Structure 1
Amino acid sequence: MKRIFMWAAGALVLLIAVVAGVVAMLNVDDRSEQPPAASTAPATAEQIAHGAYLVRTGDCMACHTARGGKELAGGRAIQTPFGAVYSPNVTPDKETGIGTWSADDFWRALHNGKSKDGSLLYPAFPYTNYTKVTRADADAMFAYLQSVPPVQQKNLEHGLRFPYNNRFLLYGWRALYFRPGVYKAETQQSVEWNRGAYLVQGLGHCSACHTTRNALGGSDLKAELGGGFIPVVNWYAPSLTSDEEIGLGDWDIQHISALLKDGISPRGTVLGPMAEVVGASLQHLSDADVRAMAVYLKSLPRQKEAPAEKERASPDQVASALDLGQKIYKNHCADCHQASGKGVWPAYPPLASNHAITMSAPVNAIRVVLNGGFAPSTAANPRPYGMPPYGPTLTDSEVAAVVSYIRNSWGNKAPIVSASEVSRYRSVPLD
Structure 2
Amino acid sequence: MTRPLKIALAVLGLAVALLAVLVLLEMRAPALPAVPADTPAAPSAQVARGAYLAQAGNCMACHTARGGQPYAGGHGVATPFGTVFASNLTPDPATGLGHWSAEAFRRALHEGRSRDGHLLYPAFPYDHTTRLSDADTDALYAFLRSLPPVAQATPPHTLRFPYSTQAALAVWRLLFFDAGRFEPDPQRSAAWNQGAYVATVAHCAACHTTRNAWGGPATVWGGNRMPDGRWWAPSLRDPREAGVQHWSEDQIVALLQGGQTADASVLGPMAEVVFHGTQYLHSDDLSALAGFLRTLPTDSRPAPPFEPADPAQRALGERLYGQQCAACHGDAGQGAAGAYPALAGNRVVQMDSPVNTLQAILSGGFAPATARHPQPYGMPPFRTLLGDAEVAAVASFIRQSWGNQAAAVAPLDVQRVR
TM-score for both structures, normalised by structure 1: 0.89
Match of 1:34 in 2: none
Matches within 5 A, 1:347-426: 347-426=339-418
Q: Secondary structure at the match of 2:207?
A: helix
Query: What is the alpha-carbon distance in structure 2 between the residues aligned to residue 292 and residue 335 of structure 1?
Result: 39
Listed as ranges, the gaps of 5+ residues in structure 2 are 30-38
Deviation for aligned residue 1:283: 1.6
2:43 matched to which residue of 1? Answer: 44
1:175-194 paired onto structure 2 within 5 Å: 175-194=174-193
Are the structure 2 counterparts of residues 217 and 309 from structure 1 closer, same or farther at C-alpha, using a change threshold of 3 Å?
farther
Distance 1:224 1:283 in 2: 24
Instruction: Indicate the percent of aligned positions where both proteins have the same amino acid.
Output: 47
Of 215, 218, 236 in structure 2, the residue corresponding to residue 217 of structure 1 is: 215
**Corresponding residue number in structure 1 for 2:239:** 243
Check conservation: 2:329, 2:343, Cα contact below 8 A. yes
Post-superposition offset of 1:6 = 6.1
- Residues 424 and 41 from structure 1, CA distance in 2 versus in 1: closer, same or farther, beyond 3 angstroms? closer
CA distance in 2, matches of 1:227, 1:342: 27
Aligned residues: 409
Rounded to whole Å, the distance in 2 between the matches of 1:2 and 1:304 is 51
Report deviation, 1:272.
Answer: 1.1
- Please give the secondary structure, in 2, of the residue aligned with 1:269: coil
Residue 11 in 1 paired to residue 11 in 2? yes
- Residue 309 of structure 1, CA deviation: 6.6
Q: Structure 1, unaligned stretches of length 5 or more? A: 30-39, 427-431
Structure 2 residue aligned with 1:260, among 235, 245, 256? Answer: 256
Give the conservation status (yes or no) of the 8 Å contact 1:96–1:152. Answer: yes
Contact 1:27 1:174 in 2 (8 A): no
Cα deviation for residue 307 of structure 1 reads 3.2
User: Partners of 1:306 and 1:371 in 2: how far apart?
Assistant: 30
Letter in 2 for 1:306: P
1:23-54 alpha-carbon deviations (Å, 9 max, x no partner): 5677899xxxxxxxxxx875211111011000
Q: CA deviation at 1:349?
A: 1.4
Residues 1:199 and 2:191 are matched in the alignment: no
User: AA paired with 2:190?
Assistant: V
Q: Distance in 2 between matches of 1:5 and 1:251?
A: 60
- Which residue in the other structure is 2:224 paired with? 228
The answer to whether structure 1 residue 174 and structure 2 residue 170 are counterparts is no
Q: Offset at 1:8? A: 5.2
CA distance in 1, matches of 2:235, 2:360: 19
Report the Cα offset of residue 59 of structure 1: 0.9
Q: 1:243 to 1:8 in 2, by over 3 A?
A: closer
Decide whether the 8 Å contact of 1:255 with 1:267 is kept in 2.
Answer: no
Deviation at 1:21, TM superposition (A): 5.0
**1:271 maps to 2:263:** no
Greater mean deviation of Cα atoms: 331-340 or 228-237: 331-340
2:352, 2:406 within 8 Å by CA — same for their partners in 1?
Answer: yes
Q: Give secondary structure in 1 for the equivalent of 2:103.
A: helix
In structure 1, distance between residues paired with 2:326 and 2:271: 24
Taking only aligned residues, the RMSD between alpha carbons, in angstroms, comes to 2.2
- CA distance 1:103–1:394, shift in 2 (3 Å): same
SS of match in other structure, 1:66: coil
Q: Return 229-238 or 48-57, whichever deviates more.
A: 229-238
Counterpart secondary structure, 1:250? coil
Residues 132 and 182 in structure 1, CA contact (< 8 A), matched pair in contact too: yes
SS in 2 for 1:265: coil
The corresponding residue for 2:64 is 65
CA 1:322–1:115 in structure 2 vs 1: closer, same or farther (change >3 Å)?
same
TM-score after normalising by structure 2 = 0.91
1:175, 1:403 → 2: CA distance? Answer: 43
SS in structure 1 opposite 2:211? coil
**1:282 corresponding residue in structure 2:** 278
Shift of 1:62: 0.7
Contact conserved, 2:74 with 2:155, CA < 8 A, in 1?
A: yes
Given that 1:196 and 1:292 are in contact with CA atoms closer than 8 Å, whether structure 2 keeps it comes out as: yes
In structure 1, distance between residues paired with 2:3 and 2:384? 72
Q: Which residue of 2 aligns with 1:296?
A: 292
- Once the two structures are overlaid, the 10-residue window that deviates more, 206-215 or 140-149, is 206-215
Distance in 1, Cα, partners of 2:79 & 2:96: 24
Any idea what the Cα deviations from partners look like across 1:327-357, whole Å, max 9, x if unmatched?
3222222221222323223221121221111
